[in-house]
Chain A
Amino acid sequence: MFAVAAIALFIGMILVLIRLYAGPTLYDRVLAGNAFGTYTVLFIGNLGFLMGRPDFLDIALLYALINFVGTIAILKYFRYRAIGDTSPTPRGTPTANGKLKDQGYKS
């Protein structure tokens, strides 16, 4: 039964990868990448059962964490063109070196 699930996951991963390659816009690709991450997590967990080594579940959990943070980071990067501090500081706030800091982005 785990072999069936593994084959289904493999087919799904291939289909999602085709969408990832062919997606006409950026958001299609991000969506397909996120879905591919979910498929990977399930595939790793399933593979642990299939090979009789359920220790793989730790790796699957790690993949789930990284996948979520990575998706949010990609979206934030393409929204603000920066991953670091994008908090909207008020115009004219003096920075450490005495200059007036410009607003980081245009909302």
Chain B
Amino acid sequence: MTALDWIVEIASWIAILMGSAFLIIGAIGTLRFPDFWSRVHAVSVTDSAGMLLLTLGMCIQAGFTLITVKLIIIGVFLFITGPTATHAVANAAFVSGFLPKGADKFRRVIKLADKEAKIAKKRKRSPLKGKL
């Protein structure tokens, strides 16, 4: 085994072990965290760091072949769509009125802001209503 082989082997070991650690950490966080928003936070670790490191380790292991190209395609696709899907879930939850745990006191503030926005919208729709 030449020195280059050793370097490749060690680099892929490090990348794959770190990726596996991030994946397990993300899964434990998904299971153990107390409410939805913190679980989103835990899943995003899986989606970005763990996936990227594991794919990088496999790329290093495969060398310059067609397999590496496929792995890069998978990595780029997952790197774009994973956070997008997580954002879509979080946005859907936010629109449906979820608030973080312990943020109930802000509910009144949000309602007030909604009311003000509605009033502003009404004013915008008929700007000359009171003046004529």
Which residues of A are in contact with B by a Cβ distance under 8 Å?
1-2, 4-5, 7-9, 11-13, 15-16, 18-19, 25, 27-28, 30-32, 34-35, 38-39, 41-42, 45-46, 49, 54, 57-58, 60-61, 64-65, 67-68, 71-72, 75, 78-79
Contacts A38-B82, A61-B74, A64-B81 given: A27-B30 contact, CB under 8 Å? no
Bound state CA distance, A38 and B81, in angstroms? 10
Bound state CA distance, A16 and B31, in angstroms? 6
Whole-angstrom distance between the Cβ of B64 and the nearest chain A Cβ: 14
For residue B71, which residues in chain A have a CB less than 8 angstroms away from its CB?
45, 57
For residue B21, which residues in chain A have a CB less than 8 angstroms away from its CB?
8
Q: Which 9 A-B pairs have the closest CB atoms?
A: A8-B20, A12-B27, A15-B27, A68-B81, A27-B93, A57-B70, A71-B85, A54-B67, A15-B31
Query: Are B78 and A12 in contact, with the CB atoms below 8 A?
Result: no
Bound state CA distance, A62 and B109, in angstroms? 45
User: What 1/0 flags go to B51-88 for Cβ under 8 Å of A?
Assistant: 10011011001100001001101100110011011101
Query: A6 — nearest CB in chain B belongs to which residue?
Result: B20
Contacts A27-B93, A34-B43, A61-B74 given: A1-B36 contact, CB under 8 Å? no
For residue A71, which residues in chain B have a CB less than 8 angstroms away from its CB?
85, 88-89
Query: Are A9 and B77 in contact, with the CB atoms below 8 A?
Result: no
Count CB-based A-B contacts (< 8 Å): 133
Query: Are A38 and B47 in contact, with the CB atoms below 8 A?
Result: yes
Question: What 8 new A-B contacts, CB under 8 Å, besides A35-B47, A49-B61?
Answer: A27-B92, A31-B30, A34-B43, A42-B50, A42-B51, A42-B55, A68-B85, A72-B88
